[in-house]
Structure 1
Amino acid sequence: MKAIQINRFGGPDMLVPTNVAKPLPRPGEVLIRVRAAGVNFFETLQRQNRYGATPVLPMIPGVEIAGTVEALGEAAQDFQRGERVAVPLFAAGIFSGGYAEYVAVDAAHVVALPRGLPFETAVALMVQGLTAHHLVRQAEPASKTVLINAAAGGVGSLLIQMAKRAGAKRVIAAASSEHKLALARDLGADAGVDYTQPNWSAQVRDATGGAGPDIIYESAGGDVTRTSLELLAPSGRIVLFGALNTRDPGLNMAQLQNLISSNQSLAGFSLPPLLAAGGVKADLATLFGLAERGELTVLSGGSFPLEQAAAAHEALESRRSVGKIVLVP
């Protein structure tokens, strides 16, 4: 079968199309014919050996897939051949293998797809959808003013909608271009701010009547993280998540002292530990249902043929993309 393999760490050209043996489903497993595989920013860091633990090479990246059941291993009777399904591999502790034509996985981790839900949409609701879903649970936005950074990305675009659904008083979107902010407004944001502009913090203050946001969902990293902390309202909460916030934010003592004196909270967020207690299938069923009924919009960042995985990574690293980028084997 066709797959994308990393043999050496480096740039996008290290994503090499190759032929590997087609997996056979073992007892209890389901063989999935992949129709869409998600591309995530942390995978660009994996490719460069800049993300957490060093992956063992060679590796096939990819942690989320959607497709059809190709074959069933012995005792895997919950599904039928041809059935439309999704597999959040990461929820099963599997952090590779998705950039391929076929994936074999334990049937316990396979989720049925609604008939009307496109494979590409299902993929966008796994890493990004579950992240947004749990962020709103962890920092409840009801009756609060919320700032969402990277608001046109896969997580941010869903967070806008989920925060509004959860009763946020006001949602301010921050992104890197007017095009992205227009998309954010279309999704329900009450105001938009370009955080590449030098006066963006003043614009956020104006949008909050000078009070600052009560909750900031922050994934942009670097200077955006530091400025966001300065914008936070007294007793407010900033939640850091995403690959770009795994590096030193460079917070100084004055900022930390202000955090203490203002009764503010600086919280971290990581999705995998929250999935260990179960409920993944129920959460995905909720997200899939909302999207199928048109109550949750998924932004597409583009679909790339599997062989063009390098171009997909380049698009994601350019920071010009919006929504979710997928590979289509």
Structure 2
Amino acid sequence: MHAVQLHAFGPPENLRYEEVPDPVPGAGQVRIAVEAAGVHLVDTTLRAGKYEGGPMPAPELPTIPGREVAGTVDALGDGTDPAWLGRRVVAHLGMVPGGYAGAAVTDAARLHALPDGLDAAAAVAMIGTGRTTVGILRLAELRAADTVVVLAAAGGIGTLVVQYARQLGATVVGAAGGAEKTERVRSLGAGLAVDYGRPEWTREVRDFLGGAGATVVLDSVGGGLARAAVGLLAPGGRHLVYGWSSGEPLRFADSELAERGITSRVVVGPALQKFTGTPEGMRALETEALEAAADGRLRPAVQRFPLADAAGAHRALESRATMGKVVLIP
């Protein structure tokens, strides 16, 4: 089969599209003929050799990156339920890489049957990014009365958050970079879509809100953009953090939160352990995310790249040139 391998940590060009032996499922495992494989921002950090302090170990080289796949089960290991053979499935591989390939092996316990009407790429988006979004939204406890500012609103999580908040009845402001992304956010139902690359974007938000402040900022960017967004919060507002793609989280002076009457909370990592601390809890998030996509409540945005162009996918993701979940197609 063909796969993308990393032989040395470094730039995207180190990802090589090569012929490798087909994987063989062990006891209790299946092999999936991959139709779509997810690319996560953490994949780029692992590839560069800069991942430190997170839950995943640095991979041993050479490695085939990727942990989210969808496709058809084409081989079974000893003791695996024969009913899985030939079924279309989606799975998160966990801490074990191997997704950027024509076939991948995983434990049968990780499989979800692909819901009717949900294509492989959308399923891949929901099994990883979707499950994280469901957990974030549980912790965020958004209400219909909220006015929500979503940073990176055209991203994989951002597009799902905008849809959820809008369906809830909240007032939604989606901020993204560039005209194409803001148009995408507008199409998702945001009351206002703004380009946060424009210096006057916060004034546009204030004008839209008629002088009232936001009640929630959902922040995956950090840095100066997060600082500007937090400036839009009314007293009592909440700053909820689920990433810092700028490279640094927003930091507050000791007295700033109390003086402004706002709160700031990270809703990923240890906070999500409330839901992800057990396999059962993780699987419940995955099931909820897949069902929400299958019945049309949440529509994941997907940007496809050929498997052979995994390096291009990494470059686009690192330069913030993507919209939605990045998916490789063998």
TM-score normalised to structure 2 length: 0.90
With 218-227 and 280-289 compared, the bigger mean Cα shift is at: 280-289
Q: What is the distance in 2 between the residues matched to 1:248 and 1:281? A: 31
Gaps of 5+ in 1: none
Contact 2:127 2:290 in 1 (8 A): no
User: What's the CA shift string for 1:114-136, capped at 9, x where partnerless?
Assistant: 13211011011122211221111
Give 1:222's aligned amino acid: G
Q: What is the distance in 2 between the residues matched to 1:284 and 1:291? A: 11
Residue 139 of structure 1: aligned partner:
140
Identify which of 260, 264, 281 aligns with 2:262. Answer: 264
1:84 aligns with 2:85: no
Displacement over 6 Å in runs of 4+:
none
Contact 1:226 1:249 in 2 (8 A): no
- Pick closer, same or farther for the CA change 1:161–1:150 going to 2, 3 Å: same
Residue 23 of structure 1: aligned partner:
23
SS of 1:5's equivalent in the other structure is: strand
Q: Percent identity?
A: 39
1:212 is displaced (CA, Å) by: 2.3
Q: Where do residues 100-179 of structure 1 align in structure 2 (5 Å cutoff)? A: 100-142=101-143, 143-165=145-167, 167-179=168-180
Q: What is the distance in 1 between the residues matched to 2:19 and 2:73? A: 21
Residue 319 of structure 1: aligned partner:
320
With 309-318 and 186-195 compared, the bigger mean Cα shift is at: 309-318
Q: What is the distance in 2 between the residues matched to 1:248 and 1:174? A: 18
TM-score normalised to structure 1 length: 0.90
With 197-206 and 180-189 compared, the bigger mean Cα shift is at: 197-206
Gaps of 5+ in 2: none
User: What's the CA shift string for 1:271-309, capped at 9, x where partnerless?
Assistant: 6734223233343333323323333222222x2221111
User: What's the CA shift string for 1:209-238, capped at 9, x where partnerless?
Assistant: 333221111112321122222222211111
Residue 241 of structure 2: aligned partner:
240
Residue 328 of structure 1: aligned partner:
329
- Pick closer, same or farther for the CA change 1:116–1:164 going to 2, 3 Å: same
SS of 1:128's equivalent in the other structure is: helix
Q: What is the distance in 1 between the residues matched to 2:283 and 2:250? A: 38
Q: What is the distance in 2 between the residues matched to 1:101 and 1:241? A: 32
1:63 is displaced (CA, Å) by: 1.4
User: What's the CA shift string for 1:26-45, capped at 9, x where partnerless?
Assistant: 11111111110011122112
Cα RMSD after superposing both structures: 2.0
Q: What is the distance in 1 between the residues matched to 2:155 and 2:133? A: 11
- For this pair of structures, how many residues does the alignment match? 321
Residue 292 of structure 1: aligned partner:
294
